[in-house]
A and B are shown apart, each in its own frame.
Chain A
């Protein structure tokens, strides 16, 4: 987990070895959840698949009537998931070698560290101290990211509501229990064989272990939800492998918030590093341009000076040459004149 967060940080920011020690975004803290938090223990070895829980849930939450009545067991032919008109579904699993069918009731697991709450960009979800994960319809924008995030595929959406579609999911009967209308969730109260028990999470874990002791060989020695995704408030016991009941065993124990906390931790680093880095690059590039301009100007000046010097030299030598030629011409003329003058004198001397 430490490694993943650290590398997530690196990956997101591209900031290299400048980072010192690996940083879990929450430091080295360990969070244990609300101590008095309540949940439900489901025992798959007791469930008879009567769907009374579905009926009970539908009744107390005043949900719309389903297409088939709750005592219609032919629905078990298909594997069902929750939809906006049902908070919970029971599915039937016929396993080779098992004495009879096994049933699993599925609904929101009310995680200790819910992915839905972590993913919601308007904080529409709350993990209550009572244990329920509840959704607030007064701020929900309907972006459905919570549905993407939930590893259990629980939240449902009213796709056929044009203007006020809601997210629908099990509330652990939070409003009904906190207002005193119910003492246990509707499904728990309706179950005729006590396959569902409502109580404090730590008590439920205790009960589960007592059952392991009391009925050796009846249960798999694993409480599903004890550690999955960081732990859930809805716990499951089974005599058959959980994956045979359509429950994922590859979710790991890392809670959802930890999966994104590394990347989110990199955001403020970018926000402060980039201005400094980019301004620095700009300054360097401007300085390079300036020096290039200076060097060009110097080169031009030198070239001009050189050309000028050359030109002057040329002019000088040309003038000197002209001077010499002029002198030579004058001398020639003088010589000629002298010769001219000397001629008649020679004739007169005879």
Chain B
């Protein structure tokens, strides 16, 4: 094979590229249809169900799962847990792309996307929780962009701007936590205005708190999940520091997530008790609520705790998947299952295949951009010219190396 002249040009039609190509073509066609014929031609939305999959998944889940940005940077820079430093840039990148995709999804969903800046520049509906969501998301997207820029500047060689932004890292991080707290909780607050349409087991005055706390668990779990995937597919881009810190990140974040999930479980219980909703647990919706609470909150809390005790990385990684699914389930339950629960079955909503296709298209887009950036910019490694690495207590200064090797046994041999 090595003798073939054409071996130099790799085929463009790898299975991955073909699948992505199909997704993009279908996505482009549906995009055209959406803007040529309207939302009715593409979605199953209706006057009874004005919000569907794009809000439930692309907005609510997208924002919750992008929470790794503020949690990781807060852990490292505010709480001083420097051993998580190598996880910050990947988390910021994930969050930046996540929030960007939220905005793109909104371009599809709202009736007049070019008017999206109106609440900030034309007329503000300050009584609206959605205004607060929009303002904070817009500001936070810009914050994330600035937090991502150093990696981009290092790639481009713009030293001075890069140094300036790095100098204000703490301020950006704190701003990020403030904005994230506000909009994560406000997404839950969106449903406060309509108790008559949300099932009592999911409606609570604590909805903002539920969404905020679960976003922390979501963020920590996404860092573990994204780190696991990146480790598998982008291992060659990782430097010794990242690889050395990787397992500690997983177990450390698993420990944090265990406590946060336990907290989330407790406040959900208080939410039931304080409004005396126990009797609803004995209904069909009650059973579904318990599936969500026990199978996707209590269980991952326990599994994370076991993983930390046993130093079991594999268990921690699978639990992160369970937790992420649990967050998605909760957002879907709140906005699609528990919402309009009193409508007759014929009037309930299920997404059209085109809505699903666009969501798939947006995720694919995100993955491709992630890969593009991670394979070129210092996300999983530190550019030697701009070394930021802060030594741990008692550790000697080290020179980072590139490692171009396949998956190998971790030197410290954590129990897999």
**A/B: CB atoms within 8 Å of each other:** yes
C-alpha spacing A240/B209, complex, angstroms: 42
**Does B132 count as interface, using CB distance less than 8 angstroms?**
yes
| Nearest Cβ on chain B to A171's Cβ, whole angstroms | 17
| Nearest Cβ on chain A to B219's Cβ, whole angstroms | 16
A153 touches B48 (CB 8 A): yes
B196 touches A143 (CB 8 A): no
Chain A contacts with B in 218-274, Cβ cutoff 8 A: 248, 250-252, 256-257, 259-260, 262-264, 266-267, 270-271, 274
| Nearest Cβ on chain A to B189's Cβ, whole angstroms | 4
Q: A81-B47, A83-B47, A118-B193 are in contact. Are A271 and B39 (CB under 8 A)?
A: no
B79 touches A7 (CB 8 A): no
| Nearest Cβ on chain B to A41's Cβ, whole angstroms | 24
The size bracket of the interface on A is 35 or more
Which of B41, B190, B191, B192: most chain A CB closer than 10 A? Answer: B192
Checking B34, B45, B205 against A7 with a beta-carbon cut-off of 8 angstroms, the contacting residue is B205
**Does A11 count as interface, using CB distance less than 8 angstroms?**
yes
The 0/1 profile, CB within 8 Å of B marked 1, for residues 39-54 of chain A is: 0000000000000000
The 0/1 profile, CB within 8 Å of A marked 1, for residues 127-138 of chain B is: 111111010000
C-alpha spacing A293/B48, complex, angstroms: 62
Contacts of A118 in B (CB 8 A): 127-128, 193
**Does A301 count as interface, using CB distance less than 8 angstroms?**
no
| Nearest Cβ on chain A to B330's Cβ, whole angstroms | 16
**Does B315 count as interface, using CB distance less than 8 angstroms?**
no
**Does A162 count as interface, using CB distance less than 8 angstroms?**
yes
Contacts of A119 in B (CB 8 A): 125, 127-130, 193
**Does B158 count as interface, using CB distance less than 8 angstroms?**
no
Which of B36, B130, B132, B197: most chain A CB closer than 10 A? Answer: B130
C-alpha spacing A151/B207, complex, angstroms: 18
| Nearest Cβ on chain B to A14's Cβ, whole angstroms | 6
Contacts of A82 in B (CB 8 A): 47
Contacts of B191 in A (CB 8 A): 148
Checking B43, B181, B190 against A145 with a beta-carbon cut-off of 8 angstroms, the contacting residue is B190
A264 touches B129 (CB 8 A): yes
| Nearest Cβ on chain A to B246's Cβ, whole angstroms | 23
**Does A288 count as interface, using CB distance less than 8 angstroms?**
yes
Chain B contact surface mostly: helix
**Does A75 count as interface, using CB distance less than 8 angstroms?**
no
Contacts of B36 in A (CB 8 A): 162
C-alpha spacing A142/B50, complex, angstroms: 10
C-alpha spacing A292/B132, complex, angstroms: 42
| Nearest Cβ on chain A to B177's Cβ, whole angstroms | 6
A264 touches B78 (CB 8 A): no
C-alpha spacing A207/B186, complex, angstroms: 43
Contacts of B193 in A (CB 8 A): 115, 118-119, 148-149, 256, 259-260
Q: A151-B194, A263-B192, A285-B78 are in contact. Are A12 and B123 (CB under 8 A)?
A: no
**Does A95 count as interface, using CB distance less than 8 angstroms?**
no
C-alpha spacing A81/B178, complex, angstroms: 42
**Does B74 count as interface, using CB distance less than 8 angstroms?**
yes
C-alpha spacing A252/B193, complex, angstroms: 13
Contacts of B189 in A (CB 8 A): 12, 260, 263-264
A285 touches B79 (CB 8 A): yes
C-alpha spacing A4/B205, complex, angstroms: 7
| Nearest Cβ on chain B to A247's Cβ, whole angstroms | 12
**Does A141 count as interface, using CB distance less than 8 angstroms?**
yes
| Nearest Cβ on chain A to B267's Cβ, whole angstroms | 8
Checking A11, A141, A250 against B205 with a beta-carbon cut-off of 8 angstroms, the contacting residue is A11
**Does A164 count as interface, using CB distance less than 8 angstroms?**
yes
A148 touches B182 (CB 8 A): no
C-alpha spacing A140/B181, complex, angstroms: 27
**Does A98 count as interface, using CB distance less than 8 angstroms?**
no
Checking B34, B47, B207 against A147 with a beta-carbon cut-off of 8 angstroms, the contacting residue is B47
Checking B119, B170, B182, B192 against A141 with a beta-carbon cut-off of 8 angstroms, the contacting residue is B119
Closest chain B residue to A153, Cβ basis: B48
Closest chain B residue to A84, Cβ basis: B47
Chain B contacts with A in 105-142, Cβ cutoff 8 A: 109-113, 115-116, 118-119, 122-132, 134
Contacts of B74 in A (CB 8 A): 278
| Nearest Cβ on chain A to B131's Cβ, whole angstroms | 4
Contacts of B178 in A (CB 8 A): 270-271, 274-275, 278
**Does A345 count as interface, using CB distance less than 8 angstroms?**
no
Contacts of B134 in A (CB 8 A): 121
C-alpha spacing A165/B39, complex, angstroms: 9
A159 touches B129 (CB 8 A): no
C-alpha spacing A124/B110, complex, angstroms: 15
**Does B15 count as interface, using CB distance less than 8 angstroms?**
no
A141 touches B393 (CB 8 A): no
Chain B contacts with A in 165-216, Cβ cutoff 8 A: 170, 174, 177-178, 181-182, 185-186, 189-197, 204-209, 212
Checking A142, A162, A264 against B37 with a beta-carbon cut-off of 8 angstroms, the contacting residue is A162
| Nearest Cβ on chain B to A119's Cβ, whole angstroms | 5
Checking B112, B125, B174, B196 against A121 with a beta-carbon cut-off of 8 angstroms, the contacting residue is B125
Q: A122-B124, A165-B111 are in contact. Are A263 and B50 (CB under 8 A)?
A: no
A149 touches B194 (CB 8 A): yes
Which of A4, A11, A123: most chain B CB closer than 10 A? Answer: A11
Contacts of B34 in A (CB 8 A): 162
B196 touches A251 (CB 8 A): yes
Contacts of A282 in B (CB 8 A): 77-80, 170, 174
Checking B110, B170, B186, B197 against A143 with a beta-carbon cut-off of 8 angstroms, the contacting residue is B110
Q: A12-B208, A115-B194 are in contact. Are A292 and B393 (CB under 8 A)?
A: yes
Q: A12-B189, A139-B115 are in contact. Are A267 and B35 (CB under 8 A)?
A: no
A266 touches B208 (CB 8 A): yes
Q: List 14 A-B contacts (CB under 8 A).
A: A7-B205, A8-B206, A11-B208, A14-B212, A122-B122, A123-B124, A141-B113, A159-B43, A250-B196, A256-B193, A263-B208, A271-B182, A278-B177, A286-B80
**Extra pairs beyond A263-B129, A267-B186, A274-B181 (19, CB < 8 Å):** A11-B208, A14-B212, A119-B193, A120-B128, A121-B125, A121-B131, A141-B110, A144-B110, A145-B130, A148-B50, A159-B40, A160-B37, A259-B194, A259-B195, A262-B205, A263-B189, A274-B177, A279-B174, A293-B393
Shortest beta-carbon contacts, A-B, top 10: A142-B111, A285-B80, A159-B40, A144-B50, A121-B131, A147-B50, A11-B206, A12-B208, A123-B125, A121-B128
Residues of chain B having any CB pair with chain A under 8 Å? 34-41, 43, 45-48, 50-51, 74, 77-80, 109-113, 115-116, 118-119, 122-132, 134, 170, 174, 177-178, 181-182, 185-186, 189-197, 204-209, 212, 274, 393-394
